[in-house]
Structure 1
Amino acid sequence: MTDHAPDVPAAADDDGHAISFQVLRRGTPVRSSDGVALGTVRRVHEAKREHIFDGIDVDTRDGLRFLDAPEVARIAERAVTTTFPAAEREIHLVDRGSRIARILGNTTTARRAKRAGERAREQWDRR
């Protein structure tokens, strides 16, 4: 009989390996630096010409918020960690939704208009 501890499962706060913002998936949890859940990833923003991470749209209980790139400490397989504690969330998470967006929600028409705008922006950038 040996005196060794049984296999201990990975810590609950183990977020996995660090990953690129380009492969960050929608629905990934966003946590504050002190481990409090702030919301989930809705969309990742990139400065296309420079190929630089610009920030993340986060679905929170208070609505859609924007998390600027300097406020992101780590992007991992299973979670995004911020540089600030949960007590400072109102300071760093910027309201992203407009009045019209809150009224329309995520309707088919709104999604189509958004895609059309993104295509137009990409065509403009390629000129």
Structure 2
Amino acid sequence: MTDEPDPIAYTALEPGTPVQSSDGQQFGTVAAVLVVEEVSVFDGIVVETPRGTRFVDADHVGTITTAYVRTSLTADDAAQLPEPDDSPVYRADATDDTGSSLADRFGRMFGRGTWKREQ
């Protein structure tokens, strides 16, 4: 009988859970679990490290247990993790297709919208 912690689903993962590199060295703790709500897909975790908040993609999350999250990252990889960024936001530009050109007229006729990424 081993004293290994029990595996859990990402939905049961708690903030503050230690996050480890592939060799078992802790490099941070879970700050948040990211999920694509529309399709209920695990996207990754936000990790609080001594160097600030970092993002670990779901592809690099190996084992999730009651005691820790073990990633597939080496210690060097973990040190190079990016900061989390917000998802881009797009808005329809209502001023598009307002001209009198043939392309603008077809755009209005067929409802072609032009989406602009917010900065």
TM-score of the superposed pair, with normalisation by structure 2: 0.66
1:94 is paired with a residue whose SS is coil
C-alpha deviation, 1:87, in angstroms: 2.0
User: Equivalent of 1:71, from 60, 67, 75?
Assistant: 60
* Separation of aligned partners in 1, 2:77 and 2:53: 17
- Report deviation, 1:97: 7.2
1:86 aligns with 2:75: yes
1:49 aligns with 2:38: yes
Cα RMSD (Å): 2.1
The structure carrying a bigger strand percent of its residues is 2
Q: Rg larger in 1 or in 2?
A: 2
- Between the aligned partners of 2:85 and 2:48, the Cα distance in structure 1 is 10
Q: C-alpha distance in 1, partners of 2:70/2:57?
A: 12
Q: Greater share of helix residues, 1 or 2?
A: 1
Unaligned stretches of 5+ residues in structure 2: 87-119
Following superposition, which runs of at least 4 residues in structure 1 exceed 2 angstroms of deviation?
Answer: none
Match of 2:14 in 1: 25
The unaligned stretches of length 5 or more in structure 1 are 1-8, 99-127
Q: Deviations over 1:24-53 (max 9, x none)?
A: 000000000101111000000001111110
